[in-house]
Amino acid sequence: MLHRRVLLTALPAATLSARSVRAQTSRTGSYAAFLGGVRREAVSQGLSSRIVDRALALTRTPNAHVLQLDRHQPEFTLTWAQYRSRVIGSTRVSQGQAAFSSRAQQLNAVGQKYGVDPRVIVGIWGLESGFGRKIGTFSVVDSLATLAYDGRRSSFFRSELLKSLHILNDGDIPPEGMLGSYAGAMGQPQFMPSAYLHYAVDGDGDGKRNIWTDEADVFASVANYLAQCGWQRGVPWGQPVQITGDIPQALTGRAHRQTLEAWMRQGVRRADGRPFTRPDAEGALLRPDGPGTEAFMVYRNFDVIRRYNPSDFYALGVGLLGYAVA
């Protein structure tokens, strides 16, 4: 069977003390000196010294818990069936159905404006933050500063830290309200600061791009992300299928695209057993757990979902959750 490596980033590495984590930090020099360098660079880029100082005051020492989570992420292997049961369980589906039904008009309007399937917006919203319930409790500035100082990926996280300061300088969110994951993914859609600057939009015209508490901005920003990444209006991301022929696993996967007519000649049909309605369209066959297990035909919009998170499991989870809740 085919498996996916899964990181349990939510589980703390309780065996490490704060002192031991700090001692392992590879960066030389004091944290205060590091922050001073960040401050000088930010101010040289035209940012308000008052905003920068207020933001950097949120991080006095490297955050030991952030380093624990970053360095000691427990791993184990999941099959697609196991992953699916975790991300599209009955509780999440029922929560998603309630969330979609109470916001259907708003979501459909956003989908129409950006040419994006509103069900996929909800699928991403559900997987990223449990429909807005779990945005993360870490100070983004503190997390990014800690990881930038750590030294292993300092260039990436320093760049993201400076981008977070640009966001704060724009006034979309106060420094204390910029919350997210330990790795700096922010708000309900879990945008990194660089993604925020590219894709976040003001969905309700209040002059702010608030992806933390303003659902209009959340939905519009996710829709804009997908649209800017090439979402094709009116085209599905994919669909479950049944296979009656003997198709080698080597011929499955996103790299092996054929017309649906060609797939039908090999024994692939819609889940209800009927032929595809557009035999000239091209698709790829995914069978994540191998022969005899659940299979899907995916189209170009599936690749767009993967731009959000480059995982077949994730993209399938988003798409199927969207189908389940709306």
- Domain residue spans in the chain? 1-78+139-186, 80-135+201-232+305-326, 238-298
Residue 152 pLDDT level (bands cut at 50, 70, 90): confident
When mean pLDDT is compared across 9-18, 148-157, 281-290, the lowest value belongs to 9-18
Mapped onto helix, strand or coil, the DSSP state of residue 63 is: coil
When mean pLDDT is compared across 18-27, 71-80, 270-279, the lowest value belongs to 18-27
Q: Strand order in 257-259's β-sheet?
A: 257-259, 282-286, 295-298, 238-243, 268-270
pLDDT of residue 151: 75
pLDDT of residue 75: 66
More confident residue, 74 or 59: 59
Question: Can you read off the two tokens belonging to residue 3?
Answer: 């498996």
Catalytic residue IDs: 128
At 174-230, the pLDDT tens digits run 999 999 999 999 999 999 999 999 999 999 999 999 999 999 999 999 999 999 999
Residue 76 pLDDT level (bands cut at 50, 70, 90): confident
Is 80-135+201-232+305-326 a domain of CATH 1.10.530.10?
A: yes
Residue 114 to residue 278: CA distance in whole angstroms: 24
In the CATH hierarchy, which top-level class contains the domain 1-78+139-186?
mainly alpha
239-266: average pLDDT: 97
Tell me the C-alpha to C-alpha distance, in Å, between residue 251 and each of 32, 137, 198, 237: 55, 43, 36, 20
pLDDT of residue 74: 66
Cβ(210)–Cβ(97) below 8 Å: no
**276-315 burial by CB neighbour count: b if 16+ within 10 A, else e?**
beeeeeebbbbbbbeeeebbbbbbbbbbbbbebeebbbbb
Q: Which of 55, 68, 54 is nearest to 12 (CA)?
A: 68
Report the predicted TM-score, pTM, of the whole model to 2 decimal places.
0.90
**Hey, which residues does 295 pair with through a beta bridge?**
241
Residue 4 pLDDT > 80, yes or no? no
Mapped onto helix, strand or coil, the DSSP state of residue 248 is: coil
Per the rule left: phi > 0, alpha: psi between -120 and 50, beta: everything else, 65 is alpha
